[in-house]
Amino acid sequence: MNLTVSAHDTVHDKKPKQSFASRVFGYDIFLSFALGPPPRGTQSYTANLAHRLQERNFSVFFSEKEAPPGEHLDSTLQKALLRSKTLVVIANRGTLEAPRWVRKEVEEFRKNHPKRPIIIINIGNALQQLSDIAAPWLQYKDKIWLDETEQAAIEGIASDEVVERLATAPTRVKSNVRWRWLMGGIIAILVALGISLGLSAINSHNNYEQRLQEEKKVTALRLTDKARNMISGNQNTNEELVLFQLLAAHSIYPSVATEAGLVSGLLQLQDWQKILMAGSEVYSVTYSPDGNQIFSGSCDGLLPISLHIWDAKTGQSMEQFPLDNKNGYSDKALSSPYTGHAAGLEKIALMVDELVKQLKIAFEVADAVTSGRQDILGRLDSMGVSSKEQIAKAVKALQIMKAQGLIDEELQKSLDIKAIEGGMNEYIKSLKYGISSLVFSPDGSKIVSGSRNGVLRLWNSKTGEGIGDPLKTRQGEIHYVAFSPDGDCIVSGHSDGTLRLWNITTGESIAEPLKGHKFGVTCAAFSPDGDRVVSGSFDWTLRLWNAKTGEAINDFSKDIKHSVGSVVFSPDGSMIATGGLDSTLRLCNAETGKSIGLPMYGHKEGINCLAFSPDGSRLVSGGQDSTLRLWDVKTGQGIGPPLSGHHAGVKCVAFSPDGNWVASGSSDGTIRLWPAASKVLYDELAKKLSRNMSHREWNEWISSEIPYMKLIPDLSVPPDEP
């Protein structure tokens, strides 16, 4: 594939260099883009893309010379377009709004080569945002395009996925490869005069295998793209064909890209999810060491804490019981008529429902649904009062309404606003004794909770009985708790920015409070060997501590750009993953704190929880946006689209011991089980099929160049129709 890059906004006098291959065979790809920096230009991004493709032996025509004024392209660009086999258009918002010469290049190429491919790199979803402008001249409907982030264009670095897809998209053989074949052929003829037929046969076989592998790679990516486009189109989708293509792609050439296709297919085409109904906010979830059971702890922010034991294979509840509260939290937590129990919540829910109803009537009568009032209604409308977060939003909405003068005298008369606000505030006040963090020990035998009144409580998770006396601290609210790998120690993170280490056998603290953070500690984790603790905070810092002495070891805050919402060590202890409240995920070296790769983006809101797979190859993140994301640790790429299904923020995630499944707990009161390994993803999709492809279907739908593969061993292969 040859790259021809055209640009038309700044002046450079360098003439594009031509290789012997391009002179003989022409260009594989013509890159059409706008010169200059963003928001319109993509010069740096395209230069990086061209360079990386050249490294893959693509003949590249890269023109940074400004086009002269006039209505026609100059002769250099016309010749390049005429001799190019594929046109690639870098389409960001600025280019689509004012396409100028880019449009002329597209039209010239289409006129000269109506059957040759035009591939679009869609920067920041510009195609979807400006479809009315772009569609008439780009004509991209029912065609494949490659999605790229706006951040990549700004940084001038093409993503690995786009480079990989672009490198395999064109169907013709690279010009540089043709040139080498030509020269190699001449040499081979001369060499063949002096070598045996046996060596020639061996070389021929090796070349065949190499070409077959390349064909498999290209075919797998083509099938994945085609299937995902069919899924996203949702129009006359042949579900069986899509499934065959996704399974064949991953069987032919397993990769992160083909696995992402499996995830897309699973999310879109099957009702496959296992949903476990916990009934209230799920604070913690973990698998038993043998992987046969799942333990979950949930509550509505107050006591009692409900412990569930589930069958990991079927998702059926095996046992449920409240944790014993003897000598536990203060009875004040249960003294308010507006606590998290049914009567109080029901009373508040009725008042909020009435408030929303009356507000709508008042606004409609007054014909004054202003933007401010509409925003408030949006916050309250359909709000179920089932959690402390929703109650808090209702209180905040009322406060804003009063401050903005959106509650007039007439509305005040029809509603007892003070009573509603008072009830809600009473509920929020009572939460100062509520649960803020809940976590299981590594073997699932114990569970520890931290509360807003600074009390740690330990229970036996098999019986629900309390273990020892509550551990009371003087460091303010407990924001986070975590067990050591051996289950003998606990670290607690507090609102005053300190951490405490505890010996759970003696109930005594280990060393003095760990001081260093300026604001509240949001998360903490032990290293796999139990010697270190890493902690994150609202103060945008990440700190490393000695878990035996409490001494500070290092400050890893250099690359942290926001409050840290979650943190975890990799299984081998070499890396630390952090999830920011700004939705950014980062990896860093656990010894030096140096960033590993680029930040990973995928969530729309803050990241609440993280977990590595047992082998450390994958990472799962749970966000306040109600989704999970799977990540390939080696490449930093997301595996497939977000895993959606929860209706509120994801609070906890855990891998099964074999790494095949992920369990997630949410504020919506459910636990969901997700396939997390390629084999499980493959098998789940295969369950949707009742047969294999026939040999004829394989040749038509997959490839006539790749030998037939039986995708599902237990299913039959139908005979070819005559």
Asked if 494 and 639 sit in the same domain, the reply is: yes
Q: Which two tokens stand for residue 78?
A: 């016309």
Candidates 123, 135, 130, 125; CA nearest to 34 is 123
Asked if 570 and 530 sit in the same domain, the reply is: yes
Tell me what pLDDT residue 195 has: 60
* pTM, to two decimals: 0.60
CA angle 583/393/537 to nearest 5° reads 40
Residue 105 to residue 107: CA distance in whole angstroms: 5
3-state helix, strand, coil in the chain (%, to 5): 35, 25, 40
Asked if 644 and 659 sit in the same domain, the reply is: yes
What's the mean pLDDT in 649-662? 94
Asked if 442 and 554 sit in the same domain, the reply is: yes
Asked if 587 and 608 sit in the same domain, the reply is: yes
Asked if 353 and 410 sit in the same domain, the reply is: yes
Residue 173 to residue 28: CA distance in whole angstroms: 8
Q: Which two tokens stand for residue 430?
A: 């009572």
Tell me the per-residue pLDDT of 455-472, one tens digit each, with 9 for 90 and over.
Answer: 888 888 878 788 888 887
**Burial (Cβ within 10 Å: 0-12, 13-18, ≥19) of residue 63:** buried
Asked if 425 and 460 sit in the same domain, the reply is: no
Q: 578 pLDDT exceeds 90?
A: yes
Tell me what pLDDT residue 186 has: 60
What percent of the chain lies above the pLDDT cut of 70?
72
Q: Are the C-beta atoms of residues 438 and 452 closer than 8 Å to each other?
A: no
393 band by pLDDT with thresholds 50, 70 and 90: low
Residue with token string 């002495």: 549
Q: Are the C-beta atoms of residues 333 and 339 closer than 8 Å to each other?
A: yes
Asked if 258 and 282 sit in the same domain, the reply is: no
What's the mean pLDDT in 104-119? 89
Q: How far is CA 284 from CA 273, 297, 408, 661, 669, in A?
A: 19, 5, 44, 16, 11
Domain residue limits at 249: 178-272
Tell me the per-residue pLDDT of 161-180, one tens digit each, with 9 for 90 and over.
Answer: 888 888 876 544 455 545 45
Strands (E), 633-711: 650-655, 661-666, 670-675
337 band by pLDDT with thresholds 50, 70 and 90: very low
Asked if 369 and 394 sit in the same domain, the reply is: yes
Tell me what pLDDT residue 379 has: 44
Tell me what pLDDT residue 51 has: 86
Residue 702 to residue 688: CA distance in whole angstroms: 19
Strand, helix or coil for residue 398: helix
Tell me the per-residue pLDDT of 125-147, one tens digit each, with 9 for 90 and over.
Answer: 888 888 888 888 888 777 778 88
354 band by pLDDT with thresholds 50, 70 and 90: low
Query: Is 623 a member of any domain?
Result: yes
Q: Which two tokens stand for residue 694?
A: 């026939």
DSSP 13: -
Max mean pLDDT range (195-204, 236-245, 413-422, 674-683): 674-683
For residue 118, what are the β-bridge partners? 87
Q: 40 pLDDT exceeds 80?
A: no
Candidates 308, 279, 329, 275; CA nearest to 469 is 329
336 band by pLDDT with thresholds 50, 70 and 90: very low
Residue with the larger pLDDT of the pair 384 and 627: 627
Candidates 516, 441, 447; CA nearest to 484 is 441
Query: Is 710 a member of any domain?
Result: no
Strands (E), 257-305: 274-277, 282-287, 293-298
Give the number of C-alpha atoms closer than 13 A to the C-alpha of residue 415, restricted to the C-beta side.
23
Q: 32 pLDDT exceeds 80?
A: yes
What's the mean pLDDT in 250-263? 89
CA-only gyration radius of the chain, Å: 30
Mean pLDDT, the chain, rounded, equals 78
Query: Is 323 a member of any domain?
Result: yes
CA angle 85/88/90 to nearest 5° reads 165
Tell me what pLDDT residue 366 has: 43
Q: 356 pLDDT exceeds 60?
A: no
Q: Which of 96-110, 393-407, 697-711 has the lowest mean pLDDT?
A: 393-407
Max mean pLDDT range (41-45, 268-272, 521-525): 521-525
Q: Are the C-beta atoms of residues 307 and 323 closer than 8 Å to each other?
A: yes
Asked if 471 and 526 sit in the same domain, the reply is: yes
Tell me what pLDDT residue 301 has: 54
Query: Is 185 a member of any domain?
Result: yes
Residues 6 or more apart in contact with residue 592 via CB below 8 angstroms: none
CA dihedral of residues 92, 98, 100, 105 (deg, nearest 10) = 30
Tell me what pLDDT residue 191 has: 55
Q: 35 pLDDT exceeds 50?
A: yes
Tell me what pLDDT residue 14 has: 43
Tell me what pLDDT residue 34 has: 86
Q: Report the DSSP pairing between strands 145-148 and 118-123.
A: parallel
What percent of the chain lies above the pLDDT cut of 90?
26
Query: Is 696 a member of any domain?
Result: no
DSSP 694: P
Tell me what pLDDT residue 343 has: 39
What's the mean pLDDT in 362-367? 46
Q: What is the CATH number of the domain that holds 526?
A: 2.130.10.10
What's the mean pLDDT in 651-661? 94
Asked if 422 and 442 sit in the same domain, the reply is: no
Residue where a domain terminates, one of 391, 409, 431: 431
Asked if 241 and 365 sit in the same domain, the reply is: no
Number of domains in the chain: 4
284 band by pLDDT with thresholds 50, 70 and 90: confident
Q: Which of 261-275, 304-318, 669-683 has the lowest mean pLDDT?
A: 261-275
Residues 6 or more apart in contact with residue 474 via CB below 8 angstroms: 454
Residue with the larger pLDDT of the pair 88 and 462: 88
Query: Is 414 a member of any domain?
Result: yes
Tell me what pLDDT residue 193 has: 62
> H or E stretch including 451?
strand 446-451
Q: 283 pLDDT exceeds 70?
A: yes
Residue with the larger pLDDT of the pair 396 and 536: 536
Residues 6 or more apart in contact with residue 425 via CB below 8 angstroms: 395
Q: Are the C-beta atoms of residues 649 and 608 closer than 8 Å to each other?
A: yes
Residue where a domain terminates, one of 364, 398, 431: 431
Q: 545 pLDDT exceeds 60?
A: yes
Query: Is 337 a member of any domain?
Result: yes
Max mean pLDDT range (286-300, 346-360, 381-395, 575-589): 575-589
Query: Is 711 a member of any domain?
Result: no
Max mean pLDDT range (322-326, 409-413, 433-437): 433-437
Residue 688 to residue 711: CA distance in whole angstroms: 13
Q: Whats the size of the chain, residue-wise?
A: 722
Residue 206 to residue 201: CA distance in whole angstroms: 9
Residue 311 to residue 663: CA distance in whole angstroms: 12
